[in-house]
């Protein structure tokens, strides 16, 4: 921070990112130089055909390596100076990079000469000498190859435009109209570059109209998010590490008895929570089953393949034709194992998957006397693009006052399933078989968000429906809709799960906090990253980091430009939060204990950095926690 500017453009690294890469190459070069020196001092080395040429080759190679070692030492040393935000002590890095780049030219020429000597003048020379020269030539080509790869990785397609924008942005005399035009062109180019990147990543997806619209929308979203900061990837990693330790410090200083919960209505009693936990544990099995065979094999790595292989390839009897849908195969077999249902209990199964069109199934749950709709979570690139279509779209519901809008991608996915259920008569078929049953909708992750919006769409036709949303995305519903959904939706969140805290305003707040942390810390980045690795792997006490701006209020325009342009979105329904009980002296193999509480949406208005922020989102972890709570006779319920 800021990005490194060399060769007239900005790159996706900073001047303090060369410590580890430079130190690694320096280590290789020193070993290489020592080996060549030992070889040069070997007696009788040049008593062969081409010995004179070999003598000159090794001397020049030693000189080249010494020059490279000195340059790399200077690069590493200078790159270690200063802090993330204070790049002044590293101002000589561009000049050192130019010197190092020039040294690649004679190194390449000398590698070619070494190859020529091996092929023409090496006969009669000691075999170890020939092998050493071959090794030197191969090592040179390998280093050159990885250098090219590294350049491609850190190349920023917007580098020249962004550098021009930064220069003009700092020119106070530039007319406002020129500045606005330049900014518009830069942001338009950035949006196109992001769109191209997404298309390249999703090259296997058919380029249909909805897909192109999604690519454009997501490209614009990423462009807007990253356009007003000059952070590189390592800055973000260092900022996340500092923020994690800061959050851990706050958590450790908090009173253990202090718990943040929502105001408890009369309905939020212990009995009510016991019932909802039991229901959640039951319906979570269906949310897991919606993932099909991949989640079954992931959850049962030793036996899953064997169980499925016995049935999924077996020819089915004509009775199986009553199950609608497509591309079942092993997916249907895994559903039977996960849910414990019979094949006759399934009304409809679809694994059709496109952007805004996600798999789901409808089944009869006789244990709970429910017609159950389970929606699959994210499991494909199409699902990920649906997740990332995070703009707002109106969702007008009769009787709900105030602004009503929802996550665009999830709302379109819910409309797709709504059309299938109502227009294709799937729910009508299910309730013809079991007219006295209630309607329950469930899902995990993307499936949870879709289930929540779907339940809102169906509420007027099915007033008694219930929805259990497991780990739903945080940026889902406007406040009036979130409050309205508390009557019939229960959201279940495990620990520090990232996804229920994900929304555009929350991510912009995270960006602000990262900027503040990296600006305030006066330690070099390499020390922060080393400490981060140690802290994440071995634990310990969070660093009490000194700061350069500790007592100064931040006045940087970068911070003030980060006000969110997007309206806040919230989790649906009542929020049932499951957390691990903090116990001292617990061994690595002891069983984890959990406690459950009704929580407020205010608890999910910021991203928590933790090694478990991803694992707490996994459906098998959520199911394990729910089963642990329902099986434990001494529930710690708040």
Q: Which residues are catalytic?
A: 445, 497
Tell me if residue 377 falls in helix, strand or coil: coil
Cα-to-chain-centroid distance, residue 120? 53
Distances (CA, A) of 449 to 294, 401, 413, 454, 482: 21, 21, 9, 8, 12
CA distances from 260 to 448, 471, 529, 597, 600 (A): 24, 19, 32, 9, 8
Identify the sign of the CA torsion 76, 81, 83, 87. negative
Kindly state the DSSP code that residue 319 receives in the 8-state scheme: G
Which residues have C-beta within 8 Å of that of residue 45, sequence separation ≥ 6? 39, 51, 54, 55, 126, 129
Please state the separation of Cα 534 from the chain's center in Å: 22
- What distance in Å separates the CA atoms of residue 290 and residue 368, rounded to the nearest whole number? 18
Taking residue 182's Cβ as centre, other Cβ atoms within 10 Å add up to 16
In whole angstroms, how far apart are CA 516 and each of 181, 212, 238, 262? 30, 36, 12, 30
**Angle, helix 619-631 to helix 270-289, in steps of 10 degrees:** 140
Per the document, the length of the chain is 638
Per-position b or e across 66-89, b if 16+ CB within 10 A of its CB: ebbbebbebbbebbbbbbbbebeb
């Amino acid at each position: 921070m800021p990005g490194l500017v060399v060769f007239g453009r900005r790159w996706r690294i900073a001047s303090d990112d060369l410590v580890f890469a430079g130190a690694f190459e320096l280590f290789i070069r020193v070993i290489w130089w020592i080996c060549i020196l030992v070889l040069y001092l070997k007696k009788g080395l040049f008593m062969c055909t081409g010995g004179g040429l070999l003598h000159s080759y090794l001397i020049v190679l030693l000189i080249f390596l010494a020059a490279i070692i000195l340059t790399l030492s200077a690069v590493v040393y200078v790159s270690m100076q200063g802090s993330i935000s204070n790049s002044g002590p590293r101002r000589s890095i561009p000049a050192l990079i130019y010197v190092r780049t020039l040294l690649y030219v004679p190194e390449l020429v000398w590698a070619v000469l070494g190859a020529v000597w091996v092929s023409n003048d090496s006969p009669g020379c000691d075999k170890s000498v020939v092998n050493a020269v071959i090794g030197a030539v191969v090592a040179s080509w390998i280093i050159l190859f990885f250098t090219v790869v590294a350049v491609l990785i850190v190349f920023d397609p917007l580098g020249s435009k962004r550098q021009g924008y930064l220069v003009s942005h700092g020119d106070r005399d530039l007319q406002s109209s020129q500045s606005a035009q330049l900014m518009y062109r830069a942001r338009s180019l950035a949006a196109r570059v992001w769109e191209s990147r997404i298309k390249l990543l999703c090259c296997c997806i058919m380029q249909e109209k909805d897909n192109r619209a999604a690519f454009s929308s997501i490209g614009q979203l990423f462009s807007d998010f990253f356009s007003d900061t000059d952070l590189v990837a390592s800055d973000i990693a260092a900022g996340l590490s500092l923020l994690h330790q800061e959050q851990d410090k706050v958590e450790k200083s908090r009173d253990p008895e202090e718990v943040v919960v929502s105001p408890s209505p009369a309905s939020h009693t212990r009995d009510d929570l016991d019932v909802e936990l039991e229901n959640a544990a039951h319906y979570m099995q269906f949310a897991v089953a919606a993932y099909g065979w991949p989640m079954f094999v992931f959850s049962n790595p030793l036996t899953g393949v064997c169980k499925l292989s016995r049935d999924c390839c077996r020819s089915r009897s004509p009775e199986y034709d009553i199950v609608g849908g497509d591309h079942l195969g092993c997916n249907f077999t895994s559903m039977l194992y996960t849910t414990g249902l019979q094949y006759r209990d399934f009304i409809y199964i679809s694994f059709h998957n496109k952007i805004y069109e996600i798999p789901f199934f409808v089944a009869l749950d006789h244990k709970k006397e429910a017609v159950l709709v389970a929606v699959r979570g994210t499991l494909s690139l199409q699902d990920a693009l649906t997740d990332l279509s995070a703009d707002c779209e109106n969702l007008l519901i009769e009787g709900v006052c105030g602004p009503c809008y929802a996550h665009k991608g999830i709302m379109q996915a819910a409309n797709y399933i709504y059309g299938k259920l109502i227009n294709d008569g799937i729910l009508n078929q299910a309730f013809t078989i079991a007219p006295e049953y209630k309607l329950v909708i469930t899902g995990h992750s993307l499936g949870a968000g879709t289930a929540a919006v779907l339940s809102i769409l169906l509420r007027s036709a099915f007033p008694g429906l219930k929805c259990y949303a497991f780990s739903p995305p945080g940026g889902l519903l406007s406040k009036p809709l979130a409050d309205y959904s508390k009557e019939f939706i229960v959201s279940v969140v495990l620990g520090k799960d990232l996804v229920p805290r994900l929304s555009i305003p929350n991510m912009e707040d995270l960006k602000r906090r990262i900027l503040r942390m990296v600006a305030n810390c006066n330690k070099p980045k390499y020390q922060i990253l080393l400490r981060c690795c140690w802290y994440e792997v071995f634990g310990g006490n969070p660093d009490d980091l000194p700061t350069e701006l500790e007592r100064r209020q931040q006045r940087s325009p970068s911070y003030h430009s980060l006000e969110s342009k997007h309206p806040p979105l919230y989790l649906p329904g009542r929020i049932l939060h499951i957390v691990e009980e903090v116990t001292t002296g617990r061994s690595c193999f002891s069983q984890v204990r959990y406690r459950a509480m009704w929580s407020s949406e205010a608890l999910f208005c910021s991203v928590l950095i933790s090694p478990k922020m991803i694992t707490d989102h996994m459906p098998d972890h959520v199911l394990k926690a729910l089963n642990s709570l329902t099986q434990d006779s001494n529930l710690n319920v708040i």
